[in-house]
C-alpha cells in the first residue's frame, strides 16, 4: 500500500461528483414536534443554523453497492435503498440528519418521497437515488423542509461542497469525518473519497454508521459490493462505542468509471489494489468514528496477536473494547489488567492457555507491560498513568495460540456519555 496518497476534497474528490449540505430545518421541525408532544404546546419551527440535509450527485449513472445494519429494526430508508440498488446502479445520495425515519407508520412512503424529490430536482431516475436518514427514532419525518432544502441544494452542488455535506449528516458528532485517497490501478490514477458520521449508538454489525463513498474507478457493482464487505469486515465492523447497533447503518459506494482503468470485473490484481486503498481509508475512518464517541476523551485501539486464528482475534479484540469496565478504567487512567483478562475470558473465543497471555498499554508517552503469562505484574503506577492520560491508547494483547491477529477500535466511557444520552431528545 506504499502507493497510497491521501488528498483533500472528500466525497467530491473523485471525477464526476459534486455535493453540498444546507440547513433545511429537519432538526428544528423534529425538535418542535417532540416539544409539542412532551409539553402539549406549540413551538415555532425555527431552523437552528445547523446543516441537516446533504446531496451527493454524479454527472452520470454509476455502478453502486451498499451494506446495511443487521439490526432487525431498520429505518425504511434502508428498504428503499435496497430496492433502488437491485440493479447495481445509482447516481445520487440524499441524506438528512435530525430524524432517523425509523419506527414510523409512514416511514417507507416518506423515504420514497425523499428519493423522488432528489430525482426530480436533478432530472434523474428516482430508482437511482440512495436514501438515508439519521437522528431521533420514532418521530415522523417532516417532508416540507426536505422539499425546500432539495431545491436549494440542486443550485449549489459543487466540487467544493463535500465539507458542507459532511457537516449536514452530523448528529452528536463533534468533528466532520471526510477523506480522500489516491492509488494507481492499471496505470491510471484512481481516487476514492467519502464522508461519514457516527458518535453514539455505534456497535457496527454491517452495518456501519452512515458513510457514503465515491470513486472514479471502473469497477462492476458485484466487485464493488465484494470490496465493500471485505474492507468493512476489518475496519468498520471492528468499531464499538457503546454496544448499540443502529437501526439506520448504511455504507454505500458509487463508482463513476472516469479514471479510465480497465473495468474490474473479477478478483484480480487490480481488484486487490482497489481493496487495499478502500480498506486503508475505512480503517482510518473507523478510528475517527471511535475517537469521536459520545463524551469520549480517548481513542482505544486493541491489538490482538498470537490468537488461534483471525476469527478468534477479532472476537477478543471487540470483547475488550466493548467492556464497560475496560472503558471506564481507561477514562480514569487505571492500568487494571484484570479487566482486560476478564474480557478475554468471557469473549467466547477459544484460548488454549490463559497462562500465555501478555498485556501492555501503549501511547505517545511510552509502553508498559502490566501482565505476563496470564499474571499481573508490579509496575510503575506513575508511568502507567502518564501513558493512559494520552488521547490515543493502545491495548496490546499477545496470546500463544497461533498466528491470528486483529485490531478493534473503541473509546473510553465518561460521565458525558450518560449526560448526552440522558438528554438526547430534549
Question: In the chain, what are the domains?
Answer: 5-291 (3.60.70.12), 299-422 (3.10.20.340)
With a cut of 60, say whether residue 37 has pLDDT above it. no
- Residue labelled with grid coordinates 425504511: 76
- Average pLDDT (318-326) is 92
- Confirm if 70 and 245 have CB atoms less than 8 A apart: yes
* SS3 assignment, position 379: coil
Tell me the pLDDT band of 207, cut-offs 50, 70 and 90: very low
* SS3 assignment, position 260: coil
* SS3 assignment, position 215: strand
Check 208, 209, 214, 245 and give the catalytic one: 208
- Residue labelled with grid coordinates 436518514: 133
d(CA 71, CA 169): 21
Set of cell numbers at residue 52: 441537516
Most confident of the following: 130-139, 158-167, 291-300: 158-167
Other beta carbons within 10 Å of 72: 7
249 versus 281: the higher-pLDDT residue is: 281
Among 24-28, 64-68, 151-155, 377-381, the least confident range: 24-28
d(CA 370, CA 381): 10
Element spanning 419, H or E: helix 415-422
* Burial bucket for residue 379 (CB in 10 Å: 0-12, 13-18, 19+): middle
Q: Are strands 53-68 and 250-255 parallel, antiparallel or unpaired?
A: antiparallel
For 110-153, how does the pLDDT look when each residue is reduced to its tens digit (9 = 90+)? Answer: 999 999 999 999 999 999 999 999 988 899 999 999 999 999 99
* SS3 assignment, position 284: helix
d(CA 235, CA 323): 19
With a cut of 90, say whether residue 318 has pLDDT above it. yes
- Is 208 one of the catalytic residues? yes
- pTM equals 0.86
211, 207, 186: which is closest to 198 by C-alpha?
A: 211
Amino acid at each position: 500500500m506504499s502507493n497510497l496518497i491521501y488528498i483533500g476534497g472528500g466525497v467530491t474528490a473523485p471525477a464526476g461528483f459534486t455535493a453540498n449540505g444546507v440547513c433545511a430545518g429537519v432538526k428544528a421541525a423534529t425538535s418542535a414536534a417532540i416539544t409539542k408532544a412532551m409539553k402539549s404546546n406549540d413551538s415555532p419551527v425555527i431552523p437552528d443554523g445547523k446543516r441537516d440535509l446533504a446531496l451527493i450527485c454524479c454527472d452520470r449513472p454509476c455502478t453502486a453497492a451498499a451494506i446495511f445494519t443487521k439490526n432487525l429494526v431498520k429505518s425504511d430508508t434502508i428498504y428503499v435503498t435496497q430496492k433502488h440498488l437491485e440493479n447495481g446502479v445509482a447516481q445520487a445520495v440524499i441524506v438528512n440528519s435530525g430524524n432517523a425515519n425509523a419506527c414510523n407508520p409512514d416511514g417507507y412512503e416518506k423515504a420514497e418521497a425523499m428519493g423522488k424529490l432528489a430525482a426530480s430536482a436533478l432530472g434523474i431516475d428516482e430508482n437511482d437515488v440512495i436514501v438515508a436518514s439519521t437522528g431521533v427514532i420514532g418521530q415522523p419525518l417532516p417532508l416540507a423542509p426536505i422539499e425546500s432544502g432539495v431545491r436549494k441544494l440542486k443550485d449549489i452542488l459543487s466540487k467544493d461542497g463535500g465539507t458542507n455535506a459532511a457537516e449536514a449528516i452530523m448528529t452528536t458528532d463533534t468533528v466532520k469525518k471526510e477523506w480522500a485517497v489516491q492509488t494507481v490501478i492499471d496505470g491510471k490514477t484512481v481516487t476514492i473519497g467519502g464522508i461519514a458520521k457516527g458518535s453514539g449508538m455505534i456497535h457496527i454489525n454491517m452495518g456501519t454508521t452512515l458513510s457514503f463513498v465515491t470513486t472514479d474507478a471502473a469497477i462492476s457493482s458485484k466487485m464493488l459490493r465484494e470490496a465493500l464487505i471485505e474492507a468493512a469486515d476489518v475496519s468498520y465492523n471492528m468499531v464499538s462505542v457503546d454496544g448499540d447497533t443502529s437501526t439506520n447503518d448504511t455504507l454505500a459506494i458509487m463508482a463513476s468509471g472516469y479514471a479510465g482503468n480497465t473495468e474490474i470485473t473479477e478478483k484480480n490484481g487490480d481488484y486487490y489494489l482497489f481493496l487495499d486503498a478502500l480498506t486503508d481509508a475505512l480503517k482510518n475512518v473507523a478510528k475517527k468514528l471511535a475517537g469521536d464517541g459520545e463524551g469520549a476523551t480517548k481513542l482505544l485501539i486493541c491489538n490482538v496477536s498470537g490468537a488461534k486464528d483471525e476469527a478468534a482475534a477479532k472476537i477478543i479484540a471487540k470483547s475488550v473494547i466493548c467492556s464497560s469496565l475496560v472503558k471506564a478504567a481507561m477514562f480514569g487512567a487505571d492500568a487494571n489488567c484484570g479487566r482486560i483478562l476478564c474480557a478475554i475470558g468471557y469473549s467466547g473465543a477459544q484460548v488454549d492457555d490463559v497462562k500465555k497471555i501478555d498485556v501492555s498499554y501503549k501511547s505517545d508517552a511510552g509502553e508498559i507491560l502490566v501482565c505476563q503469562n496470564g499474571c499481573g505484574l508490579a509496575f510503575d503506577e506513575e508511568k502507567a498513568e502518564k501513558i493512559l492520560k494520552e488521547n490515543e491508547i493502545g491495548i496490546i494483547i499477545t496470546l500463544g495460540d497461533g498466528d491470528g491477529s486483529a485490531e478493534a477500535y473503541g473509546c473510553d466511557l465518561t460521565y458525558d456519555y450518560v449526560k448526552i444520552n440522558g438528554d438526547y431528545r430534549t
